[in-house]
Amino acid sequence: MTTTTLDYGHGHEHEDHGPPRGLKRWLFSTNHKDIGTMYLVFALTMLFAGGASAMLIRAELFMPGLQLLDPDLYNNLVTNHALIMIFGAVMPAAAGLANWMIPLMIGAPDMALPRMNNLSVWILPAAALMLLLSFVVPFFPGGGTQINTGWTLYPPLSLQVGMSMDFLIFAIHLLGISSVLASINIIVTIFNMRAPGMRMMEMPIFVWTWLVTAFLLILVVPVLAGGVTMLLFDRHFGTSFFTAAGGGDPVLFQHLFWFFGHPEVYILILPSFGVLASIIPTFARKPLFGYKSLVGAMIAIMAIGMVVWAHHQYTVGMSLGAVSYFMIGTIIISIPVGLMVFNYMATMWRGSMTFETPMLFAVAILLMFSFGGLTGIMLAVVPADMQYHDSMFVVAHFHYVLLPGAVFGLFAGVFYWLPKWTGNMYDERLAKIFFWTNVISFNITFFPQHFIGLAGMPRRIVDYNVMFTEFNVISSLAAFVFGLSHLLLLYIIIKTVRGGKKAEARVWEGAKGLEWELPSPPPFHSWTTAPQLAR
């Protein structure tokens, strides 16, 4: 029998038993589970960083005339809140679930490119440092002005920002490299590492959602990288891509940004919808409804989602033909998205449902996400959007899309899989308290913003008219509860990781979904014929 000697530079005499421990275990990790954990820890850290900026934003908007923050600092916080939540919290958390679950779901020993996997995750702290620098540099002497553009970084304003914009552009480059590497890894893993006999149309839907997401990322992230690189060239190297004085066009940047920005919404949402496809059959004790149509819907979302971007720019003065096309395309997207929601509801139909925390989140997600979808249709309509554009209504809309559609789905996935990851059961009572506090305070925070938006309160402005006071007070108070509720989430997770009741082998008692979802490899001949696989 051969034993492997692992030498990490210690020059130790003894044979090494097992994988490296301590810091080296994480630093040099090529293990999909450890890397998944690192993604999740990073995401949780960023959730609190992005949450802190949200708390400051809501504190500033608590009352008109407060002016706790300098207006540029306020807009800097708006910028950072978005970037940290999107690139720091949601995408890495989804990547954490992908790393943990995709190899397990397709019966692979690990990701296909484990060392690249290590690189993908360890680029993130560097990118976070660049983001942090972009935020704090203006506070040092000679640091220039703050990033007051919002995450959309539109020129000409972004051409006038000081050196913090350069740090931000570099952060976006790093985050983009990390995402593209991770996407390549996921695609190669899914195409090449499935258990023998497992066909594409037999993969769990979570794997499918990630396959589509990975393709979307590879298609659109380089366009954002190109856009911000052109911005960098305009800022420092004398080009005029976006400056009218040099023959350029600032609206070109908007097209490049939203060519990335709209599909990005699906990048954030699809992995969470994959989580729902795992959770709902388990707690409804029924097979997933309409597997093939779900795969088809996702591919349709990817295809149509890439050609509707300019619905974010109706007010820049496009031709009637152009805005009509983008309006119709956007409305058509609601069909495959609605189909996914329908299939999940049909899965629940006449199921013997129980409402453990993951399922509570799943049901709440379908309700609230559908509401965000409906306000999305309102915003897609050109003449109406002329009124809603850049109002708090838009803020309310996309928070109803992204919290239920992305963040809550990730929470649900964490609760669903924590017992599998840690071997311990989370505290169901505390988790339910978290669910209700979280979801109720979320709704009280964002629902009133529809009203003040429709009444004319603009977004990304540090102060507002007294007529909007009441709803802003309600929104801020609920936001503080919402923010604090995540401390309970942190407590529940730490408690589960450190111990607690041992999870049973079949965590979700009598759950049918788990059988096909987490295969302890069945005999190959039964792979395709097992009744659990027949959908």
* Least Å from the CB of residue 336 to Cu ion: 15
* Least Å from the CB of residue 401 to Cu ion: 10
Can you say whether the dihedral through the CA atoms of 44, 49, 53, 56 is positive or negative? positive
* Least Å from the CB of residue 262 to Cu ion: 3
The length of the chain is: 535
Amino acid identity for residue 316 in this structure: V
* Least Å from the CB of residue 226 to Cu ion: 19
> Are the CB atoms for 271 and 210 separated by under 8 Å?
yes
Burial pattern 111-149, b for ≥16 Cβ within 10 A else e, equals bbbbeebbebbbbbeebbebbebbbebbeeeeeeebbbb
205 vs 274: CA distance, rounded Å: 6
CA 114 to chain CA centroid, nearest Å: 23
* Least Å from the CB of residue 309 to Cu ion: 6
464 vs 527: CA distance, rounded Å: 61
Nearer of residues 168 and 401 to Cu ion, judged by Cβ = 401
CB-neighbour burial class of residue 427 (10 A; exposed 0-12, middle 13-18, buried 19+) = middle
Nearer of residues 95 and 379 to Cu ion, judged by Cβ = 379
* Least Å from the CB of residue 306 to Cu ion: 11
Query: Is the previous residue joined to 156 through a cis bond, with omega within 30 degrees of 0?
Result: yes
* Least Å from the CB of residue 372 to Cu ion: 12
261 vs 267: CA distance, rounded Å: 10
CA distances 532 to 82, 151, 303, Å, are 41, 45, 31
Nearer of residues 190 and 302 to Cu ion, judged by Cβ = 302
Nearer of residues 164 and 330 to Cu ion, judged by Cβ = 330
> Are the CB atoms for 399 and 444 separated by under 8 Å?
no
Secondary structure element (H or E) that encloses residue 86, with its range: none
**What are the beta bridge partners of residue 424?**
502
Nearer of residues 235 and 262 to Cu ion, judged by Cβ = 262
Nearer of residues 401 and 462 to Cu ion, judged by Cβ = 401
Nearer of residues 308 and 365 to Cu ion, judged by Cβ = 308
3-state secondary structure of 502: strand
Please report, in angstroms and rounded to a whole number, the separation of the first and last CA atoms in the chain.
45
* Least Å from the CB of residue 259 to Cu ion: 10
* Least Å from the CB of residue 305 to Cu ion: 8
Nearer of residues 251 and 518 to Cu ion, judged by Cβ = 251
Residues 6+ apart with CB under 8 A from 228: 153, 169, 172, 173
The pair of structure tokens assigned to 524 is: 């190959």
Nearer of residues 262 and 286 to Cu ion, judged by Cβ = 262
Nearer of residues 173 and 262 to Cu ion, judged by Cβ = 262
459 vs 308: CA distance, rounded Å: 23
* Least Å from the CB of residue 265 to Cu ion: 6
In the complex, which residue's CB is closest to Cu ion? Answer: 262
Can you say whether the dihedral through the CA atoms of 36, 225, 116, 183 is positive or negative? positive
3-state secondary structure of 520: coil
* Least Å from the CB of residue 47 to Cu ion: 23
Angle ∠(352,357,362) on CA atoms, nearest 5: 70
* Least Å from the CB of residue 54 to Cu ion: 21
Nearer of residues 131 and 220 to Cu ion, judged by Cβ = 220
For residue 380, count other CB atoms closer than 10 A to its CB: 21
Nearer of residues 342 and 398 to Cu ion, judged by Cβ = 398
CA distances 448 to 323, 392, 457, 476, 479, Å, are 29, 9, 12, 10, 12
From 307, 268, 270, 278, select the one nearest 399 (Cα to Cα). 268
Nearer of residues 209 and 330 to Cu ion, judged by Cβ = 330
* Least Å from the CB of residue 216 to Cu ion: 13
- Interface with Cu ion (CB under 5 A): 262
